[in-house]
Amino acid sequence: DGQPTTATLQASKPGPVYNKDVFTQFAEHLGEGIYGGLWVGRNSNIPNTNGFRNDVVKALRDLSVPVIRWPGGCFADEYNWREGVGPQAKRPVKINTHWGGVTEPNTVGTHEFFELVRQVGAEAYVAGNVGNGTPREMAEWVEYMTSPAGSLADERAKNGHKEPWKIKYFGVGNELWGCGGNMRPEFAADETRRYSTFIKPPAGTKILKVAAGANVDDFNWTETMMRVAADRLDGVSLHYYVHPAGGWPPRAPAVDFDEHGWADALAGARRMDDLITKHSAIMDKYDPQKRIFLAVDEWGSWYAQDEGTHPGFLRQQNTLRDALIASIHLDIFAKHADRVRMTAIAQMVNVLQAMIFTEGSKMVLTPTYHVFEMYKPWQDATVLPMDIKSPWYGKDEFTMPAVSGSAVRAKDGKVHVALSNLDPNQSNTVTIKLDGVTAATVSGRVLTATAINAHNTFDAPEAVKPAAFNGATVQDGSLVVTLPAKSVVVLELQ
Ligand code: AHR
């Protein structure tokens, strides 16, 4: 509508910390998410360390991945941890009933997961089995992983790891309303009370317990879980996927979309703001101090699988559109940083909105990877309020503010500003009044491309990658930025 975009960045009114665990990544036993994508085995020709591929681990280290969520997802509520410890050759081969009906060799189990966590330099988010496991199995698994003494600790040592591991987060099941047991909310909340009773870390240590939360806008689920089980919990989760064209299973193409599909998906990403606001308001009723965090531990795009890929493997190409979906989410999480202290994108490698694709020995980074890299200064930074007033962008029935953004003061004291232009057709000049920041210079990078569906392939791995950006200046106490159409810009003020 031709209005200029304006904002005030209020550095004099610092907000909450942007918890680095918002950048958690989810790695499920699904398709090539683990096998092939992360794990190739010690005897593989693909360069690896203790079975995990060096190229992928290096790329993940470069992102400073804070936490890895494992082993599911739906996989978690059928997982028997006992089948994944001990000599690999003796582990039972199971059927992955959720994901493609393929065999699950159990080669990657608890010890291998913690080896991945160690190599990446992350912490652990383990999802327990409430669906078809018992509280005793869950208790024994926690003891096996964390106890310094006792028979289970001895068994762990015999299996190669004397030192106990640290579990930062433990999921009390996953999607108990669906694949985790098709429970009604009252029953799920009671089961959550019961199972969480038996998650007992050793004295002097703490495990943050996360309840399996609501699907999208199931506010009654959050209400019931909070009313019945809040006193047993540290976090309650929320799952919401962007899937343009509606319906389930998702059917929109990952690459062959037009502007209608672009706007549909970005409006879908914007919806996260409303969902968090409403779930959080319910949590406020029971927990006004915000002791319990909302863990958005599955988010991202979900499209039809790429043609020719194995059914149930959820392999989908990742385009510039996904980069914007990521930046929109990360900005929304800044707005809700007081309540949203952990989130996990789905998923890490080869599955859904992936950071990385592999094929044999080849690896490629996605546009989403680059956004996570550009937002690294947000990890444990202080959120600075920045209210953006922008014109609207719209296509067909989908309308939204054209500019998304967030600002932080990083741990090193520098102010960083992220701005995304959702309009694929027009550039947008944003004028941000700087309140409480004395900056003389600005530098930054931009992620954009000519086509809305630009993406990286093994043959053209750098079609979408960050480039130096010189469209920003500081003038008379304001930051003036000309955002190219369909771009993500991240700036640093000096
Ligand atoms: O991320 C894929 C699947 O989506 C997860 O296993 C499940 O929790 C959700 O339905």
Read off the pLDDT of residues 446-468 as tens digits, 9 standing for 90 and up. Answer: 999 999 999 999 999 999 999 99
pTM of the complete model beyond 0.80 = yes
Instruction: Please tell me which residue in 32, 123, 298, 373 is annotated as part of the active site.
Output: 298
Give yes or no for residue 299 having a pLDDT over 50.
yes
Residue 444 belongs to domain with CATH number: 2.60.40.1180
77 lines ligand 1 (CB under 6 A): no
Question: Whole-angstrom Cα distance, residue 211 to residue 148?
Answer: 26
Determine the atom of ligand 1 nearest the C-alpha atom of 98: 6
Identify the residue whose C-alpha is closest to ligand 1 atom 9. 73
Question: Whole-angstrom Cα distance, residue 415 to residue 437?
Answer: 8
Most ligand 1 atoms within 8 A of CB, residue of 24, 25, 74, 350 to mutate: 74
Say what the pLDDT of residue 346 is. 98
Let me know whether 489 and 420 are in one domain.
yes
SS3 169: strand
Distance 74 CA to ligand 1 centre (A): 6
Determine the atom of ligand 1 nearest the C-alpha atom of 180: 8
Distance 352 CA to ligand 1 centre (A): 10
Say what the pLDDT of residue 1 is. 45
Instruction: Please tell me which residue in 104, 123, 175, 191 is annotated as part of the active site.
Output: 175
Let me know whether 216 and 151 are in one domain.
yes
Mean residue pLDDT across the chain: 97
The per-residue pLDDT for range 174-233, each reduced to its tens digit, is 999 999 999 999 999 999 999 999 999 999 999 999 999 999 999 999 999 999 999 999
Identify the residue whose C-alpha is closest to ligand 1 atom 3. 73
237 lines ligand 1 (CB under 6 A): no
Say what the pLDDT of residue 439 is. 86
Say what the pLDDT of residue 179 is. 98
CB 229 within 8 A of CB 188: no
Say what the pLDDT of residue 344 is. 99
Let me know whether 321 and 429 are in one domain.
no
SS3 222: helix
Q: pLDDT-derived band of residue 3, with 50, 70 and 90 as boundaries?
A: confident
Distance 73 CA to ligand 1 centre (A): 5
Let me know whether 370 and 479 are in one domain.
no
Give the alpha-carbon dihedral of 295, 298, 299, 303, to 10 degrees: -170
Most ligand 1 atoms within 8 A of CB, residue of 24, 25, 26, 28 to mutate: 28
Let me know whether 141 and 112 are in one domain.
yes
354 lines ligand 1 (CB under 6 A): no
298 lines ligand 1 (CB under 6 A): yes
297 lines ligand 1 (CB under 6 A): no
SS3 428: strand
DSSP 116-149: HHHHHT-EEEEEP--SSS-HHHHHHHHHHHH-SS
Q: pLDDT-derived band of residue 2, with 50, 70 and 90 as boundaries?
A: low
Q: What percent of the chain has pLDDT over 70?
A: 100
End-to-end Cα spacing for the chain: 33
CB 484 within 8 A of CB 422: no
Let me know whether 411 and 311 are in one domain.
no
Say what the pLDDT of residue 120 is. 98
346 lines ligand 1 (CB under 6 A): yes
175 lines ligand 1 (CB under 6 A): yes
CB 225 within 8 A of CB 192: yes
28 lines ligand 1 (CB under 6 A): yes
Bond preceding residue 426 cis, omega within 30 of 0: no
Say what the pLDDT of residue 57 is. 99
Let me know whether 420 and 452 are in one domain.
yes
Distance 347 CA to ligand 1 centre (A): 9
73 lines ligand 1 (CB under 6 A): yes
Q: Quote ipTM for the complex.
A: 0.99
Let me know whether 141 and 275 are in one domain.
yes
**Which of 342, 362, 380 is at the close of a domain?**
380
Most ligand 1 atoms within 8 A of CB, residue of 97, 98, 174, 242 to mutate: 174
Distance 299 CA to ligand 1 centre (A): 10
Let me know whether 29 and 50 are in one domain.
yes
Average pLDDT over residues 303-320: 97
Let me know whether 49 and 160 are in one domain.
yes
- The distance of Cα 66 from the centroid of its chain, to the nearest Å, equals 11
Query: Parallel, antiparallel, or unpaired for β 342-346 and 293-301?
Result: parallel
Let me know whether 463 and 351 are in one domain.
no
CB 198 within 8 A of CB 159: no
**Which of 380, 402, 431 is at the close of a domain?**
380
Average pLDDT over residues 349-360: 98
Determine the atom of ligand 1 nearest the C-alpha atom of 178: 10
259 noted as active-site residue: no
Give yes or no for residue 276 having a pLDDT over 70.
yes
174 lines ligand 1 (CB under 6 A): yes
Let me know whether 257 and 274 are in one domain.
yes
The per-residue pLDDT for range 101-160, each reduced to its tens digit, is 999 999 999 999 999 999 999 999 999 999 999 999 999 999 999 999 999 999 999 999
Identify the residue whose C-alpha is closest to ligand 1 atom 7. 73
175 noted as active-site residue: yes
Distance 178 CA to ligand 1 centre (A): 10
Determine the atom of ligand 1 nearest the C-alpha atom of 76: 6
The per-residue pLDDT for range 74-108, each reduced to its tens digit, is 999 999 999 999 999 999 999 999 999 999 999 99
Determine the atom of ligand 1 nearest the C-alpha atom of 314: 2
Residue 70 belongs to domain with CATH number: 3.20.20.80
Distance 365 CA to ligand 1 centre (A): 22
| The total number of structural domains that make up the chain | 2
Buried b (16+ CB within 10 A) or exposed e, 204-240: eeebbbbbbbbeeebeebbbbbbebbbebbbbbbbbb
- Which amino acid does the sequence have at 457? T
Average pLDDT over residues 235-255: 96
223 lines ligand 1 (CB under 6 A): no
Question: Whole-angstrom Cα distance, residue 332 to residue 20?
Answer: 15
**Which of 343, 359, 380 is at the close of a domain?**
380
Determine the atom of ligand 1 nearest the C-alpha atom of 26: 1
Containing structural domain, residue 232:
19-380
- What are residue 59's phi and psi, to 5 degrees? -60, -40
Average pLDDT over residues 30-48: 98
Identify the residue whose C-alpha is closest to ligand 1 atom 2. 73
SS3 473: strand
